[in-house]
Structure 1
């Protein structure tokens, strides 16, 4: 399964000249041919990104040789920031990682086998009961402690956790895979590197883009910096490029044509410390979905960038520095670049930018995601109606108020810093409210409709979230309306300036300001609603304790100036959503007859008869509150349904639980704000989460029976458990990995650029 990812793991073990070394060989075993594919199949789903257990990243030879660390990346209560440990960035080579505290899992310890060998043996000799629930003593998910035994601590670990060898709490290695890995480890775990080489087409386009970002001149350098800071997270792919080839922007001490000498600063807008050049270097290691935020580049994109940034008559003669003030306020830093160019570039690529701060790639985020609701739609303000873009006087008044916190991480000053930035933000909101009150009432023309990035759907899955083009699901409770100041601040606060290795002060300031960002997006949207209904709508969004937050931290809203939209005053939000769907039908990338069924047929018309019947049956589960479909209370946030049809056909659907909240205005106590009777389900074709929580495999002929059983289960745990036993794919299922990786294969078949190995750290023990 997932041959593409195995192939990618071969190809993407590059590193440029800095990583290459003479291949080590074994007469009977090859790391690239024999070992990495096993890691890709059975290990990468847990051992990738910042939340890899013990920072053991098994997606590349470099990660395998780096080994493990007892220091967790995610430790929100720490008082001091920790050194960054980004694979391929912060150290090069095994010895450099040893100096940073990582220890080998490959080296034998005297008469003792390598730590990895012993962990694998422990897992292999204690197999799970096929498709049974796991023992309660095995702790999974984000609640699991970061134990990370050193080699001399393994015996104590095995004694205390005899059922917790590797792979952890999942159907393990086959006998052949186990033997192959043990032979490799016994031979000294030799690895060979195979650096990727751009194709001729890719190399030519890389040269053009590097030349553009490194143009001489102050104005050109400012644009290069802005583009780099907005694209540093992207997995770039090129028109006519090789499948599986992705690249990322970095700062290098060496110019184009020479090996990259990476400048590894904590943030992309930290001082580089020397002269530098913007360079594109290949993405290394196995592609994993949760960090795979793609961005296309090609001749048309190059032409567009030149048109936006290089065709005007603006210029600057001096360049800003890289200090905390410049990080805190990108509007001041880049004020010489026309605001319309900056905003239009972000609009052209809105899905990418929203993904950077909603989906990741921090890889763990309940403290961040609990500031947003479980599903909402995102819209964008037309530049011609954006006062910041069109009015230089207003822009000059607003810019000093748009600074963001998080640059000073002194724990003792966190409250005073927070108040200062909150007050600036609220002063800006007051300025904005008064300025927009003088403008014509907002209408449908206020909304940007330039391409299919204009309509986005966001789904939160407790501690992760996803972003998709188009309007998916029933009309949600809330919507966000981004203007340029809000979109840029959100991106800088949560992507550019956020430090996952930072201390509690930095992370708290970031989280608190994100709360203000959400409020600002909601207030922007409220101006589209009837003036006399805005207060009631806001009260519904901020029920109970939310009213305290409204009094403490938010500014008053405009309840006087009219909207130019003619909406049903009793159900204004829903009426807006339904009219938006009608008006944007040709732009909407996600027509959704399953969740928004308006007639007798609740399926996609392009499907064959058996899958139209499947979707018709599944539609009975959606757009109903939990008060009428009790089984919702037993479902996790992101369930995947794999439906097997005749002749080897299959379809995959995401069944998403949308938890209702009285408000999402506080950092702690989320469970106290749940409104479980109002939870709903959204069902949509495809994989809408990087982190499946569970999976059902259902023959198409049994889908109606599955739906009947779900409706009958209500809140009876016994009935739901029988559903799981009949159709569920538990972690212990003999074909778990076949079904789990088939989700990635489905992405590969339907949207190949987005394909990557999914994460199973959140896969639940149902």
Structure 2
């Protein structure tokens, strides 16, 4: 039987080499997947860091990371391997009571503690040689199961494979593996992808046989330790100003990956609360949410090394530098204000930053947030949500973001307005998990009241200054800070934020002011509990409606007064009658005329062009593919786009409607250079689904108007979850565009994928995947992480 399997495998390999399956262009490019120097590893000591960790990162971590790791098997760190797997769900849209928190490194510290929380081993807990034969090593068993079945080498995988994110997961314990194997013989790991190479399997098996030993982690180098000491000294000064500032910084930076510009690359840290002062062993204070009572009299803020593999879906970075520290000192310490007493941690106060940090000037808080606005917007995109369709279906598929200038402080009355409305600005997190099916309606009332009061306040301010809002009221980023203009892309249940205005003029845009930016952070980052109840998630989604409308209303105030209702009607077409009062009668200053001097009837596009010109390069360097906001886009960056590529890509963006149903939300396109001396290029294809409105949490397909879908093409990478890879020779790019434009049936779509897609079954899938990750690392540097394959399509 073994000889027959080998013969069949050899025959399949010959077929692939001859180009009889897979893509035709494969035979020309000779992609090699078997690593050179494969040899027997028996008897050789195996290093986890040098030999096993790279295999796990390249083939396992790409699905098993963050909260959406199948079976909570998180393989980004040795501690995740030791913890094992669980049958409990993290994402559960029907949960009526909070789930037990199971955050790696936080909610348990030892293997025994994880076992008490319901986790079971995937490696042997027992000493080498003492494992009972009826309890297999799950990691080895799952890899061996992959070898027992011949994996397809072309076409789609059969329906026996399940890829829906909300599918019921099979999470067998060691003693249940035989039954799992009998029921799902083709579900070996990597699930739904080609298996490991022979050399990779031998290394993993040898490592397991040697006791699955893992090396200790090195300490930060001397230079990094000196930089840590500088920041920890600043964060832990005894004065009340310093202590309140440190608490504010912690609640805004706790989730990201911090790094030192002056130190070695690829060393990241998280800001944590500790029971111990700098210089002592760190004892992290663990709470469900960052503003909860730490339970100690004095909190110390410490920098904790990130020891996990960096995956893109949770990776967003914040630089710690001398210039950054100087800005923070200037804004928070040197500013002329006093702190008479530190605020407590009572829930209704701690969840409300407008109460907790009332002593800190609004100008300081706002400038701090603006300085790295993309980081804070990324917080609710790459934060604890990981899978956030309920919150993310409150936004359009692509929109641009601008910010109210910090110099425009509502004629000096903005701080007082916030102080007077701090109670109204309370967020759903104030109720914690006590919020009920009826309680979240209270936040509807508060949000509506705030919008009404804000409308009256803005009207009074504009009347006092005797002119409407114009483009000079938009923050210009000092004409160099690229956080001044952002683009948000939604990919159904994930999203991406990038600096600059990307793509053609979008359907909607937001103008964000300080209260809105702060509430976004506390709603979706600091106050969002992924282990929370259905009501917690519904309250978050419902409140998000008001935050979106606040940003949209701010934008509409720049439009001519007579056009605002018409523009808004396009954004909220076809809303349900019971939603009309909420969505169809917004407040956007219908009585106050804009101060913008318009010259055309395309008011939205003209205003965005004005803003882009005001921001200059802070708005981005221009978009030579999708449409241009600058006069010099015809030549901009052409040196980065190979001759013969730009025009077909522009034609690609002209495709709309039905043919775009062929594409998933996010696709990476690799273009093989015709000239052997040139490097291949890569672009991201993003479908902008046209949504008639955002009035309901569910039935998105009923609000989708596919005939108006558009395509945005971005040079390089955008998005953490590629749905498909395309590989096209440059000479074939015009045909790729023509074939996509002609896709109007299932038969044509199948032919398109057979010709250009790297399907899950592709024999060289991992070679392509590795190439994309390596190119991304080269392009994005410190901001790059491994792409995630949980959403890779089976088309």
Report the TM-score when normalising by structure 1: 0.92
Which residue number in structure 2 is paired with residue 88 of structure 1?
105
Looking at structure 1, the residues matched to 634 and 788 of structure 2 have their Cα atoms a distance apart, in angstroms, of 29
Equivalent pair of 2:626/2:712 in contact (CA under 8 Å):
yes
Looking at structure 2, the residues matched to 454 and 600 of structure 1 have their Cα atoms a distance apart, in angstroms, of 20
1:693 aligns with 2:723: yes
Looking at structure 1, the residues matched to 312 and 577 of structure 2 have their Cα atoms a distance apart, in angstroms, of 38
1:632 aligns with 2:660: yes
Which residue number in structure 2 is paired with residue 14 of structure 1?
none
Which residue number in structure 1 is paired with residue 23 of structure 2?
none
Aligned residues: 736
Which residue number in structure 1 is paired with residue 15 of structure 2?
none
1:70 aligns with 2:87: yes
Equivalent pair of 2:721/2:789 in contact (CA under 8 Å):
yes
Which residue number in structure 2 is paired with residue 579 of structure 1?
610
1:55 corresponds to which of 72, 88, 109 = 72
1:431 aligns with 2:453: yes
* Matched residue SS, 2:342: coil
Shift in Å at residue 113 of structure 1? 2.7
Looking at structure 1, the residues matched to 407 and 291 of structure 2 have their Cα atoms a distance apart, in angstroms, of 30
Which residue number in structure 2 is paired with residue 17 of structure 1?
none
Shift in Å at residue 692 of structure 1? 0.1
| CA displacement, residues 262-310 of structure 1 (integer Å, 9 cap, x when unaligned) | 1111111111111321000111111100110101111000111001101
1:356 aligns with 2:356: no
1:309 aligns with 2:338: no
1:448 corresponds to which of 475, 478, 483 = 475
Shift in Å at residue 396 of structure 1? 2.6
CA 1:117/1:648 → structure 2, altered by over 3 Å: closer, same or farther? farther
Shift in Å at residue 95 of structure 1? 1.9
Shift in Å at residue 188 of structure 1? 3.1
Equivalent pair of 1:79/1:411 in contact (CA under 8 Å):
no
Which residue number in structure 1 is paired with residue 758 of structure 2?
729
Looking at structure 2, the residues matched to 464 and 110 of structure 1 have their Cα atoms a distance apart, in angstroms, of 43
Equivalent pair of 2:401/2:485 in contact (CA under 8 Å):
yes
| CA displacement, residues 364-404 of structure 1 (integer Å, 9 cap, x when unaligned) | 11111111100000110011223397444323322221111
CA 1:434/1:711 → structure 2, altered by over 3 Å: closer, same or farther? same
CA 1:241/1:131 → structure 2, altered by over 3 Å: closer, same or farther? farther
Which residue number in structure 2 is paired with residue 521 of structure 1?
551
Which residue number in structure 1 is paired with residue 498 of structure 2?
468
Alignment of 1:535-574 (within 5 A): 535-545=565-575, 548-552=578-582, 555-567=586-598, 570-574=601-605
Structure 1 stretch displaced more, 212-221 or 248-257:
212-221
1:333 aligns with 2:333: no
1:420 aligns with 2:442: yes
CA 1:609/1:529 → structure 2, altered by over 3 Å: closer, same or farther? closer
* Matched residue SS, 2:682: strand
| CA displacement, residues 380-435 of structure 1 (integer Å, 9 cap, x when unaligned) | 001122339744432332222111113325677332x2232221222221121111
CA 1:65/1:146 → structure 2, altered by over 3 Å: closer, same or farther? same
Looking at structure 1, the residues matched to 631 and 588 of structure 2 have their Cα atoms a distance apart, in angstroms, of 42
* Matched residue SS, 1:190: coil
Structure 1 stretch displaced more, 737-746 or 688-697:
737-746
* Matched residue SS, 1:655: strand
Equivalent pair of 1:389/1:395 in contact (CA under 8 Å):
no
* Matched residue SS, 1:514: helix
Shift in Å at residue 191 of structure 1? 2.3
Shift in Å at residue 570 of structure 1? 3.8
Looking at structure 1, the residues matched to 351 and 412 of structure 2 have their Cα atoms a distance apart, in angstroms, of 20
Equivalent pair of 1:374/1:659 in contact (CA under 8 Å):
yes
Looking at structure 2, the residues matched to 266 and 361 of structure 1 have their Cα atoms a distance apart, in angstroms, of 12
In structure 1, the gaps of 5 or more residues are 1-25
Equivalent pair of 1:109/1:151 in contact (CA under 8 Å):
no
Equivalent pair of 2:260/2:321 in contact (CA under 8 Å):
yes
Looking at structure 2, the residues matched to 603 and 720 of structure 1 have their Cα atoms a distance apart, in angstroms, of 33
* Matched residue SS, 2:623: coil
2:692 corresponds to which of 652, 662, 665 = 662
| CA displacement, residues 310-363 of structure 1 (integer Å, 9 cap, x when unaligned) | 112211121111121123311011000011000010001101001101343421
Looking at structure 1, the residues matched to 698 and 304 of structure 2 have their Cα atoms a distance apart, in angstroms, of 40
Shift in Å at residue 220 of structure 1? 1.7
Shift in Å at residue 589 of structure 1? 2.2
Structure 1 stretch displaced more, 49-58 or 213-222:
213-222
CA 1:571/1:318 → structure 2, altered by over 3 Å: closer, same or farther? same
Alignment of 1:109-148 (within 5 A): 109-148=132-171
1:642 corresponds to which of 662, 670, 683 = 670
Looking at structure 2, the residues matched to 410 and 605 of structure 1 have their Cα atoms a distance apart, in angstroms, of 52
Shift in Å at residue 722 of structure 1? 1.9
Looking at structure 1, the residues matched to 148 and 436 of structure 2 have their Cα atoms a distance apart, in angstroms, of 53
| CA displacement, residues 469-494 of structure 1 (integer Å, 9 cap, x when unaligned) | 00000000000110000000011110
Structure 1 stretch displaced more, 65-74 or 154-163:
154-163
Equivalent pair of 2:136/2:174 in contact (CA under 8 Å):
no
* Matched residue SS, 1:142: coil
Shift in Å at residue 635 of structure 1? 0.8
* Matched residue SS, 2:428: coil
Which residue number in structure 1 is paired with residue 6 of structure 2?
none
Max Rg structure: 2
Structure 1 stretch displaced more, 45-54 or 131-140:
131-140
CA 1:319/1:598 → structure 2, altered by over 3 Å: closer, same or farther? closer
Which residue number in structure 2 is paired with residue 742 of structure 1?
771
Which residue number in structure 2 is paired with residue 23 of structure 1?
none
Which residue number in structure 2 is paired with residue 222 of structure 1?
244
Equivalent pair of 1:617/1:704 in contact (CA under 8 Å):
yes
Shift in Å at residue 54 of structure 1? 0.4
* Matched residue SS, 2:436: helix
Shift in Å at residue 501 of structure 1? 0.8
Which residue number in structure 2 is paired with residue 506 of structure 1?
536
CA 1:310/1:597 → structure 2, altered by over 3 Å: closer, same or farther? closer
* Matched residue SS, 1:278: strand
Structure 1 stretch displaced more, 437-446 or 405-414:
405-414
Alignment of 1:144-183 (within 5 A): 144-183=167-206
Shift in Å at residue 610 of structure 1? 7.1
In structure 2, the gaps of 5 or more residues are 1-42, 125-130
Which residue number in structure 2 is paired with residue 371 of structure 1?
394
Looking at structure 1, the residues matched to 619 and 582 of structure 2 have their Cα atoms a distance apart, in angstroms, of 38
* Matched residue SS, 2:509: strand
Structure 1 stretch displaced more, 121-130 or 439-448:
121-130
Shift in Å at residue 447 of structure 1? 0.3
Structure 1 stretch displaced more, 121-130 or 207-216:
121-130
Shift in Å at residue 597 of structure 1? 5.6
2:517 corresponds to which of 487, 494, 502 = 487
Looking at structure 2, the residues matched to 192 and 660 of structure 1 have their Cα atoms a distance apart, in angstroms, of 51
Equivalent pair of 2:354/2:419 in contact (CA under 8 Å):
no
Looking at structure 1, the residues matched to 300 and 630 of structure 2 have their Cα atoms a distance apart, in angstroms, of 58
Shift in Å at residue 100 of structure 1? 1.6
Report the TM-score when normalising by structure 2: 0.89
CA 1:155/1:31 → structure 2, altered by over 3 Å: closer, same or farther? same
